[in-house]
Amino acid sequence: MAVQNYRELIVWQKAMDMVEWVYQATKAFPKEELYGLTNQVRRAAVSIPSNIAEGQARQSTAEFKNFLSIAQGSRAEVETQIMIAQRLGYLPQQQTDQILNLSEEIKRMIYSLTAKLK
């Protein structure tokens, strides 16, 4: 794979976009959720591009694939937490759909990248 820097990876760029969207969405969460759902979904979102970057910076393909797997888990965590927030009435359907659609795109990209690393 010819990528010299994780910032070149489109999946990392998309994951960074998702972090922004999650932070924007969670600004409207109730204050009592600051140390609960707000913190948890933000940390999970930040974990996605962070793990992609750390994995790409490692010296082995096996480690990169492991970090991509962790990123995939964090992505699923964000999806679940966003759906919880929507069910609790913290997010409108349109914003929920926007984040979930981007998450699905990131999921496909991580799977594709992992397959290319085999």
In a domain, 76, yes or no: yes
In a domain, 39, yes or no: yes
Categorize the per-residue pLDDT at 18 as very low, low, confident or very high, splitting at 50, 70 and 90. Answer: very high
In a domain, 2, yes or no: no
The number of folded domains in the chain is 1
- Round the average pLDDT of the chain to a whole number and report it: 95
For residue 99, the model assigns a pLDDT of 98
In a domain, 1, yes or no: no
Q: Which domain holds residue 76?
A: 7-116
pTM of the model: 0.95
Share of the chain above pLDDT 70, in %: 97
Non-local (6+) Cβ contacts of 71 within 8 A are 15, 47, 48, 49, 51, 52, 55, 110
Task: Write the CATH number for 112.
Answer: 1.20.1440.60
Categorize the per-residue pLDDT at 118 as very low, low, confident or very high, splitting at 50, 70 and 90. Answer: confident
At 74-112, the pLDDT tens digits run: 999 999 999 999 999 999 999 999 999 999 999 999 999
